[in-house]
Amino acid sequence: MHIAIVGNIGAGKTTLTELLAKHLSYEAQFEAVENNPYLEDFYSDMKRWSFNLQIYFLNSRFQQILELQTENRNIIQDRTIYEDAYIFAENLHDMGLMTSRDYENYRAIFDNITSFIKPPDLLIYLKASVPTLVNNIQRRGREYEAGIRLDYLSKLNEKYKKWIDSYTQGKLLILDKDKLDFANKPEDLGFVINSIEREINGLF
C-alpha cells in the first residue's frame, strides 16, 4: 500500500507522515530536505537555482518510487513526484523564476520519468490557508524558510487547487488543515485515521 501526503510548504505533511507511520505501522518516506545541496541557495536566489533544485527533487523522488515499486512494502510518502511538476516547477515558470527553456526541458524529463511509475493508492491533500502555513513555518523555525514570500505561498495554493480539482489517477482524501490539529488533538488524529481507513477499505 502506497499512501502519499501532499500540500503546501508548512501544511503539516511531515508531522502527519510521522503520526500515520506510527499508528498504521507503515514505513515513512520523507522529502530530501536536510541534505539538499540547493535548498538554501534557492530561497536566497530563486531564479538562479530553480532548475537545479527541481531536477534534484525529481531525481530524489524517482529513486524513492523505484524502490517502492520493486519491494512490497506499506509506505507513507511525504510529498510526491507530481507536485514537482504541477505545482513547483510550473509556478516558478509562471513567476518568471524559471526560464521557458529550462521549464520545457524539465517537463520533458518529468513526462519520461512518470511514464514508468504508478500513482499512489491513496493521495491525501492537506489544504491550508496562507495564515496557517505562515504560522507553521514560523513555529518550526527553519532558517532557510524565513524569507519565503506570501505571494509565493498564495500562488502555490492556487496551483494545488488546480491540480487537486483535476486529479483522477486514484483515490483522493482532502483534509482541511485550518480546522484540524492532528499534532496536538488526539480526536483530530482519530478523525484522520478513520477517514483514511474508510478510503482504503472502500467504505463511503
For residue 119, give the CATH number of its domain: 3.40.50.300
Q: Contact 17/28 with Cβ under 8 angstroms? A: yes
Q: Report the pLDDT value the prediction gives residue 202, as an integer from 0 to 100.
A: 75
Q: Report the pLDDT value the prediction gives residue 203, as an integer from 0 to 100.
A: 54
Q: Contact 9/123 with Cβ under 8 angstroms? A: no
Reply yes or no on whether 41 is catalytic: no
Query: What's the rounded Cα separation, in Å, for the pair 122 and 174?
Result: 11
Segment-wise mean pLDDT, segments of 10 residues, the chain, 204 residues: 94 94 92 78 91 92 86 89 92 94 97 92 96 87 72 92 94 96 94 93 66
Residue 172, phi then psi, degrees to nearest 5:
-135, 130
Q: Which domain holds residue 182?
A: 2-201
Residue of 78, 102, 111, 178 with catalytic role = 78
Q: How many domains does the chain have?
A: 1
Q: Report the pLDDT value the prediction gives residue 144, as an integer from 0 to 100.
A: 66
Cell of 174: 482532502
Nearest alpha carbon to residue 28 among 39, 15, 40, 37: 15
The residue count of the chain comes to 204
Q: Report the pLDDT value the prediction gives residue 150, as an integer from 0 to 100.
A: 86
